[in-house]
Amino acid sequence: MTLDYYFARRFLRALMIVGGAFAGLIVMIEMLELASKFSDAGLSTRTLFSFAMLRLPATIYELLPIVIALSTLVMFLGLARSSELVVTRAAGRSAMRALVPPVIMAFVFGLLTVGVLNPLAAAASREYDQRAAQMTGKAAQAFSISDEGLWLREGDDSGQTVIRASRSNFDASILRDVTFLGFETSGKLKFRIEADQAQIEQGNWMLTDAKHWALDAGTQNPEAGATVHPTMKLPTQLSTDEIRDRFGKPKEVNIWDLPAYISKLEASGFSARSYKMWLQSELALPLSFVAMVLIAAGLTMRHTRLGGTAKRVLIAILLAFLFFFLRNFASILGQSGEVPIGLAAWGAPVAVILAATALLLHLEDG
């Protein structure tokens, strides 16, 4: 048990060293990128650092499987160089038994990553997007999903328009049971439009079976002045692609809120496949961490005096990156519907764990 604790501490120490190095490098790169992006704003170093820190959680979150693999390499290379693995085997403990502490730590760290770091990264990404929009002077725009349907807001120098739709088709190209509320820059309501259907064509909302109420200050009885239109045009700066983009990236939704968000999307008629794929991928993340540990350990547990260490390290790093890209590629296939979501999310880590375990058993000499 004491030896297990020792191996667990070595793994955590390696994880902190590699993770800290990645975090420092990411912050420096982000600051340079942000300084170029917001060069006209003349941001101070302190402001650039705060922006970079908002980008840090999401960026390092995506790279954590690679961090886990490199941490495992650092740990086992250190143990092999100091002959501690040789002593461990001489004491009657197999290499597979020595792998148990780092595997458990990687799995637990994966659970903490999904449960704690994921919400932090999502919140930091949203905060960064809001500050970046203010910095670049973009028009106020918003999107949200609620039990009443979906809500959009677009704005320019002439005012704001709030749009509510009870439902839509799967790709958001057609909205149904739609209400438009137009506001002046002062916040006063200008008009209200209700339509059975709305879709964007060439810079206009094309409304079907619409009813228009003028609500400016000079209107005494809006209902008496209401007009009905079989078809109606309403100018917009939005496009169908922008509406789909407004859903936000799945990674910007807190994983604890993701199941409810998926239910609301489906109730509104939207396709939630990408969000389902992201949810399953996140749930499988602890297994991906375990797979990275086994990949790195399988090629670096031999004593360094046997030679070929650099070659084995290079192969381990290449295999780790291969699994990293394979996992992302499987996620893309799952989002597009080419393969079932469960298979896309869980297939790669399970297959790699089995293959790496088979390699370790093959190399294990007792």
pTM of the full structure? 0.77
- How are beta strands 159-168 and 142-146 bridged, if at all? unpaired
Average pLDDT over all residues of the chain: 83
The encoded tokens of residue 195 equal 């339509």
Q: What is the pLDDT of residue 330?
A: 92
61 pLDDT band, cuts 50/70/90, is very high
Q: What is the pLDDT of residue 80?
A: 75
Q: Which of 113, 209, 200 is nearest to 152 (CA)?
A: 200
pLDDT in tens, 205-234: 899 999 988 887 666 777 777 889 899 988
In this model, does residue 68 exceed pLDDT 90?
Answer: yes
DSSP string across 22-53: HHHHHHHHHHHHHHHHTGGGT--HHHHHHHHH
Q: What is the pLDDT of residue 272?
A: 80
In this model, does residue 305 exceed pLDDT 70?
Answer: no
In this model, does residue 366 exceed pLDDT 50?
Answer: no
Angstrom distance (rounded) from CA 327 to CA 132: 30
User: Higher model confidence: residue 143 or residue 2?
Assistant: 2
Q: What is the pLDDT of residue 160?
A: 85
pLDDT in tens, 331-347: 999 988 889 999 999 99
In this model, does residue 147 exceed pLDDT 70?
Answer: no
Q: What is the pLDDT of residue 273?
A: 85
For residues 269-290, average pLDDT: 89
Lowest-pLDDT range, 170-174, 277-281, 287-291, 316-320? 170-174
> How many beta carbons lie within 10 A of that of residue 215, not counting itself?
16
Q: What is the pLDDT of residue 218?
A: 62
Lowest-pLDDT range, 29-33, 195-199, 361-365? 361-365
96 pLDDT band, cuts 50/70/90, is confident
